[in-house]
Structure 1
């Protein structure tokens, strides 16, 4: 029996360096979501929402994202919380926004995507444990969630619902220019494309149609060493 795709995504990336933290200064705050979405192996919605509520009083929240996605229900909870805050919310896709991460991005007031970044939509995933009735119930829930997500995408993009359904069924990947063209992002941020693709480096074997630009992955230890070196260099440059 094949491994459930969501579980495969989590396990394939368990050794990858991750980053989820919040930084607030004055009237602005930054949330770094550089991880998968899910209570088991990534960022739990409960933790995300707690941090978001602690930002009461700030005027602008910058969500800096590089995420391969994860559990649909966790992503929906994050998106709902973002849609309810009073602050202006800006999502900066600095590498990858895939799967459940796109729901979180779409909930923000503005979305920008870095040149070299990618945006992927597909039908909802989750993990189910139990008997056949449990699985049948979950199938019904996923269908409703897909319909809700399509509504969110349509509201943001203005794209026809049937086109969105077809894109989701086909697991469609958009580069930065295409994400802006189709309305998933408001603008493209001109940056170093090679650096953005380094940020986007996840093991994406759980997906079917991954662009070639995202399939050349370094070993997790090598990537971890590089990320650590880049952070140390950034700290030295601030001194």
Structure 2
């Protein structure tokens, strides 16, 4: 019952406006994915994302990503829409791509990551209620989800499945350089003349999350991000 109450609390506290924004300029467009993935309890609604993406009649789409993750099935539907779009899609990891957000990166034609940004892969999580049979079913589903993610990462990176599984089992956090070194991204982008993005999410639910100082931000932006942090941390702590 506690898990249900925590989920309901997270949903009740959801912001009314989704942080999904698209800007088109000639033959190119930019879509911002800054928030938790999944319309049911997160901020980036997969249906709205797909509608936005399919409505862009451009040659190149830039996805600006700063996300601690979210619903893996919502991310999967977003990945499908990316794969099916006629445009070249370039992922830009502005601050953080963790968990389900890394899958979205894998669906893009190119991935670039800002120096100082982070990239994290781990095994799938869930909240399950019921008897021992239900728990076994939940574990079986998680294994299937993990297998799908392993295939995504392996296809992109050229690494062996065993190596990917080891990283996922350990909950591995990659620096920007490591993300490129291991094949998850194509290049590192240096931010010249201003401070680069640094994750300001509350990642305490993850066991190996690095400590990072957040850059100075406008108060309204910081307030919005803090709200997302509280909700994501609350949801991810529920399985424990």
Tell me if structure 1 keeps the 8 A contact 2:61–2:88. yes
**C-alpha spacing 1:128/1:37, structure 2 compared with 1 (3 Å):** farther
- What TM-score, normalized to structure 2? 0.79
Looking at structure 2, the residues matched to 125 and 46 of structure 1 have their Cα atoms a distance apart, in angstroms, of 22
Q: Counterparts of 1:190-209 in structure 2 under 5 Å? A: 190-191=190-191, 194-197=195-198, 200-209=199-208
Say what the alpha-carbon RMSD is for the aligned residues.
3.0
Q: Which residue of 1 aligns with 2:227?
A: none
Q: Number of residues paired by the alignment? A: 216
CA deviation profile, 1:162-210 (whole Å, cap 9, x unmatched): 010010011000000000000000000011584311xx21111111101
- Comparing 17-26 and 174-183, the one that deviates more: 17-26
Looking at structure 2, the residues matched to 128 and 63 of structure 1 have their Cα atoms a distance apart, in angstroms, of 32
Structure 1 portions without partners, runs of 5+: 229-239
Q: Which residue of 2 aligns with 1:70?
A: 70
Query: The residue matched to 2:104 in structure 1 has which SS?
Result: helix
Q: Counterparts of 1:143-158 in structure 2 under 5 Å? A: 143-158=143-158
Looking at structure 1, the residues matched to 207 and 19 of structure 2 have their Cα atoms a distance apart, in angstroms, of 26
- Comparing 18-27 and 175-184, the one that deviates more: 18-27
**C-alpha spacing 1:178/1:149, structure 2 compared with 1 (3 Å):** same
Tell me if structure 2 keeps the 8 A contact 1:203–1:217. no
Q: Which residue of 2 aligns with 1:45?
A: 46
Q: Which gives a bigger RCO, structure 1 or 2 (Cα 8 Å, sep 6+)?
A: 1
Q: Which residue of 1 aligns with 2:221?
A: 227
Tell me if structure 2 keeps the 8 A contact 1:68–1:99. yes
**C-alpha spacing 1:138/1:177, structure 2 compared with 1 (3 Å):** same
Looking at structure 1, the residues matched to 158 and 90 of structure 2 have their Cα atoms a distance apart, in angstroms, of 19
CA deviation profile, 1:13-32 (whole Å, cap 9, x unmatched): 968x9732111121111110
CA deviation profile, 1:127-157 (whole Å, cap 9, x unmatched): 4466655554333222112111111101110
Looking at structure 1, the residues matched to 71 and 134 of structure 2 have their Cα atoms a distance apart, in angstroms, of 17
Looking at structure 2, the residues matched to 2 and 116 of structure 1 have their Cα atoms a distance apart, in angstroms, of 37
Structure 2 portions without partners, runs of 5+: 223-240
